[in-house]
Structure 1
């Protein structure tokens, strides 16, 4: 895999996917999402027993999607954009081995969605996590409306999605959004310990456990994800979406009608 924005590194049976756009707080554009998709496929083809997802630099895991890119999308273009994000998130959710999000800073919007698509989450003390799309005049479009309530419960999920509520690392742990919080300087070492433990487990049994747990959540989730994709795309071109994203790009407060 050859990409300017995504690195895939190996340590034995553990692959680490790093989103490498620190100057943009690792925000996701089309090229980055496509590179993530390819890196996940490569890790799967090479039989990685564990896949870690993290962001480059000290400030952000993935600060969200590229708002400048999304700002002027048509409904049809937003459908393709949403489908690409779903493709990547679903690839993480269905990856045969265990997936771990090493949340090292901001994880907003699409970044939160990539983290919750993983099996396990370890956060640094400085991490802040949220689904902040509402202030852009849209809703989460890469799985949060379906996955988030299963992690944190209905009330917390609605507050995060309706209000754009952001959780600090300790609150995220209390709400069940992350499994553990460690000092910033210890994140890499702790994730390495965890992934070593996971990689040492019997691969077939771990995969069977992952698939069995997934059955608990299936039900209407597929239909729910499809609905979310349609609803997300339908908001592009509305006055709220145009104003919300213009305000973000202009670094001002939005004025919704």
Structure 2
């Protein structure tokens, strides 16, 4: 897969999406979002891909949106446009397989919102995360006001959004914004190790589990429990469920086929 602003590599069932605009600290513009949206759809439908890592490389994740592209936009243009950032991040969030963000350096504004669309976030100890849009007279418009409160609670999310301040990787871990903090030289290795662990599980069960969590967050508890039960029940029609339980009873590793 060849793209203008990202690199995509698939190895051992793990797809890695690397933002590739180093000259502007991986700033996110409409072309980046177009490429991310296409990659999300392609990888999501590729049965050979079992997990996805998204990274900006070993210097910076993404320093935010391309302000030069947005500065002259009017309210009418923004309100009637096709919302490329929300579309791309929604597609990434709903890839039916685990998505891990490997964050080194800055993950600011749209970069932070991109990380929020992943299922799991691993940060290098030099990472800084934040939503500084308020300092530009705007608010996070790529899902930040919705995903961040659902992840860390409304009080902490409002503090970050209202102040526009950056936080360290350790503080991000403390408040639950990232799952793990490692040294920069261990970042990709740790992300790959986690992706391989996820990929060894049953692909259908993983997709159902992700759907149950994501959809359940949009429902009240009663509806969420009903949706969980539906997903749980459907898995008993899969070959992987039969293999998983048989392997458990036979005290051997399961050999899942994604069926």
Which interval holds the TM-score relative to the shorter structure?
0.7 to 0.9
Larger RCO: 1 or 2 (CA < 8 Å, sep 6+):
1
Separation (CA, whole Å) in 2 of partners of 1:102 and 1:76: 35
Instruction: Say if 2:116 is the partner of 1:126.
Output: no
Q: When the two structures are aligned, how many residues end up with a matched partner?
A: 219
Please say if residues 2 and 8 of structure 2, whose CA atoms lie closer than 8 Å, have aligned partners that are also in contact. no
| TM-score, length-scaled by structure 2 | 0.81
Residues 60-99 of structure 1 mapped to structure 2, 5 A cutoff:
60-79=60-79, 83-99=83-99
Unaligned stretches of 5+ in structure 2? 221-259
CA-atom RMSD in angstroms: 1.4
Instruction: Say if 2:59 is the partner of 1:55.
Output: no
Name the SS of the counterpart of 1:121 in structure 2.
strand
Unaligned stretches of 5+ in structure 1? 221-257
How far is the alpha carbon of 1:80 from its aligned partner?
A: 5.6
Separation (CA, whole Å) in 2 of partners of 1:186 and 1:53: 15
1:121-153, Cα deviation, whole Å (9 max, x unpaired) = 000000000011000110000111111011111
Please say if residues 21 and 56 of structure 1, whose CA atoms lie closer than 8 Å, have aligned partners that are also in contact. no
How far is the alpha carbon of 1:4 from its aligned partner?
A: 2.5
Name the SS of the counterpart of 1:62 in structure 2.
coil
Please say if residues 22 and 57 of structure 1, whose CA atoms lie closer than 8 Å, have aligned partners that are also in contact. no
How far is the alpha carbon of 1:117 from its aligned partner?
A: 0.9
Q: Which moved more, 1:148-157 or 1:129-138?
A: 148-157
Match of 1:22 in 2: 22
Please say if residues 26 and 56 of structure 1, whose CA atoms lie closer than 8 Å, have aligned partners that are also in contact. no
Residues 237-252 of structure 1 mapped to structure 2, 5 A cutoff:
none
Which of the pair has more CA radius of gyration?
Answer: 2
Instruction: Say if 2:177 is the partner of 1:172.
Output: no
Match of 1:150 in 2: 150
Match of 1:245 in 2: none
Separation (CA, whole Å) in 2 of partners of 1:68 and 1:57: 25
How far is the alpha carbon of 1:93 from its aligned partner?
A: 1.2
| TM-score, length-scaled by structure 1 | 0.82
Name the SS of the counterpart of 1:61 in structure 2.
coil
